[in-house]
């Protein structure tokens, strides 16, 4: 059984950066496709990016290009999401989630099966 445990809540000032971690147990990071999804207070879910095996690289949503970096430390089984240039609009709960894939016809489909508990990042002066 895969478990994802995220780091605790963070408070940052506008313009600062934040790092959120996601520790994996029950599997190895190299066997997983890790992604990040965020949810602003009272709002819906927004995919930020993650490793897409079909592309063999980490793909970032355009909305976060240049501000986000997603990395993995396979030795400590921990994934990281670094977000810079924070504004109040980045106040949200950030989730890590694993995205296995399957095949339908000749293309892969993906879905988020295991999720971390979420990390609240508050951006306020």
Partner 1 sequence: DIQMTQSPLSLSASMGDRVSLTCRASQSISVYLNWYQQKPGKAPKLLIYAAFSLQSGVPSRFSGSGSGTDFTLTISSLQPEDSATYYCQQSYSTPWTFGQGTKVEIK
Q: Which two tokens stand for residue 80?
A: 């990281």
Contact positions toward partner 1, by CB under 8 A?
37, 44-47, 52, 59, 61-63, 95, 97, 99, 102, 104-105, 107, 109-113, 115-118
What letter would DSSP give residue 89?
G
Nearest distance from C-beta of residue 30 to partner 1, angstroms:
21
Look at the block and give the residue holding tokens 């490793």: 51
Nearest distance from C-beta of residue 88 to partner 1, angstroms:
21
Nearer to partner 1, 62 or 125 (CB): 62
Would you call 109 helix, strand, or coil by DSSP? Answer: strand
Nearer to partner 1, 22 or 29 (CB): 22
Cα–Cα dist 100/113, whole Å:
7
């Amino acid at each position: 059984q895969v478990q994802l445990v995220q780091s605790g809540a963070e408070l940052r000032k506008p313009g600062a950066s934040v790092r959120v971690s996601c520790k994996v147990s029950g599997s190895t990071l190299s066997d997983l496709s890790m992604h990040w999804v965020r949810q602003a207070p009272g709002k819906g879910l927004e995919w930020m990016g993650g490793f897409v095996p079909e592309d063999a690289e980490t793909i970032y949503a355009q909305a976060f290009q240049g501000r986000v970096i997603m990395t993995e430390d396979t030795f400590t089984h921990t994934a990281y999401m670094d977000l810079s240039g924070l504004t109040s609009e980045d106040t949200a709960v950030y989730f890590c989630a694993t995205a296995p894939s399957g095949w339908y016809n000749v293309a892969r489909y993906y879905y988020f099966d295991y999720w971390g508990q979420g990390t609240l990042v508050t951006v306020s002066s």
